[in-house]
A = this chain, B = another copy of it.
Amino acid sequence: MNDTGASKTAQHAGLGHKDRLRLWIRLLRASRTIENELRLRLKSAFDMTLPRFDVMAALNREPEGLLMSDLSRFLLVSNGNVTVIVDRLVTDGLVVRSSREGDRRTSIVRLTDSGLTLFRQIATEHEKWVGELLGGISDEDARHLAVMLKSFRSNWET
């Protein structure tokens, strides 16, 4: 089972790289698989796209609203991207931009009432879907995984 026995502490370059590469590929495939399935279901059940739902979910967490740059940072997508998605949600009446006292560069983005209503409907189903899609992972593993994924970031983000 053990190879050289040096693997566990092989920080001195290159040895664990193959394992990490395999892990990255699996991580990517898992997240693409889930994302594809969620996209399909959102489309067919609610005529909603994933990026729009993501923005609504972020706004739902902050009843006070968020700046465009907050959305960009939180969702890990570019500024220009957020602009387009929010524009579309505004057109659909699900979201509003309200101007802010003291800083005319920014505007705060909030869910409208109908946006909130719709979000809650979708979120209920969405949560079930995720529960189902990740159902093959035990509760214990799920928690373990979540902890690992939470902490990995701080190690290289100077």
Contact = CB atoms under 8 A, between A and B. Distances in A.
A68 to B, nearest CB: 18
Contact of A21 (B31, B127, B156): B127
Interface string A10-46: 1000101111111110111111111110000000000
Nearest to A32: B76
Quick one: copies of this chain in the complex? 2
Interface hub of A128, A149, A153 (most chain B Cβ within 10 A): A149
Contact of A142 (B19, B137, B144): B19
Nearest to A147: B26
A62 B75 CA distance: 35
A135 interface: yes
Nearest to A24: B130
